A and B are shown apart, each in its own frame.
Chain A
Amino acid sequence: AQSVTQLDSHVSVSEGTPVLLRCNYSSSYSPSLFWYVQHPNKGLQLLLKYTSAATLVKGINGFEAEFKKSETSFHLTKPSAHMSDAAEYFCVVSPLGSGYNKLIFGAGTRLAVHP
């Protein structure tokens, strides 16, 4: 079965410093992977998605993620954190053959950004 593991439940950074949110996936073949963000009292928003076209995926708000098959990782990065980036981030896999839109979410990483 496909799954994702987010390695950190909480990450704290200072404004202007880099952000790294780690995600490992488990799959016997190249999965479709996503990062979603959830701000307090708001729905989830898609940051970026990997669908095997390119290993480095650029998303919204300056975020990007690199698919590394050898490491089964899909870490999310941003060069410089902004206060508005404080939110919960979810690494998500869409299992091939599972049917339509059945997403499997990681446990989430809560990002805190300090001034």
Chain B
Amino acid sequence: KAGVTQTPRYLIKTRGQQVTLSCSPISGHRSVSWYQQTPGQGLQFLFEYFSETQRNKGNFPGRFSGRQFSNSRSEMNVSTLELGDSALYLCASSWLGALNEKLFFGSGTQLSVL
């Protein structure tokens, strides 16, 4: 069974640009969540989607957005990139996104903003 797949693996952008990251969950998983990992702030929750609906959101500015498609694949978008957006963005999937459910993480997309 294929794991969580994130593309691209690496991205280099400049300030002011926008970027779209993609996440394909494990087959059958309907919940997809996104996390940002930086050396300074650690791992922080961005948002979670289930059946194309955002159910939960972290404390990030509106420049960070996401969506989920009917096949459960998810994308996140960051507009007007800032230097501080440089981070590893991790996607995780699970069956239902229930409270104690095991999350399966992808290897992440490393975004560098110059």
Q: Which residues of A contact B (CB under 8 A)?
A: 32, 41-46, 49, 51, 90, 94, 96, 98-108
Closest Cβ of chain B to A97, distance in Å, is: 9
Q: Please determine whether A32 and B99 come into contact, CB atoms closer than 8 angstroms.
A: yes
Name which of B11-19, B41-49, B62-70, B71-79 contacts chain A: B41-49
A108 partner residues in chain B, CB cutoff 8 A: 42-43
Interface size, chain B (Cβ < 8 Å): 29
Q: Which residues of B contact A (CB under 8 A)?
A: 3-4, 31, 33, 35, 42-45, 48, 50, 55-56, 58, 90, 92, 94, 97-108
Q: Which residue of A lies closest to B94 (CB)?
A: A101
Could you tell me the distance between the alpha carbons of A36 and B108 in the complex, rounded to whole angstroms? Answer: 15
B101 partner residues in chain A, CB cutoff 8 A: 101
A103 partner residues in chain B, CB cutoff 8 A: 35, 43, 45, 103
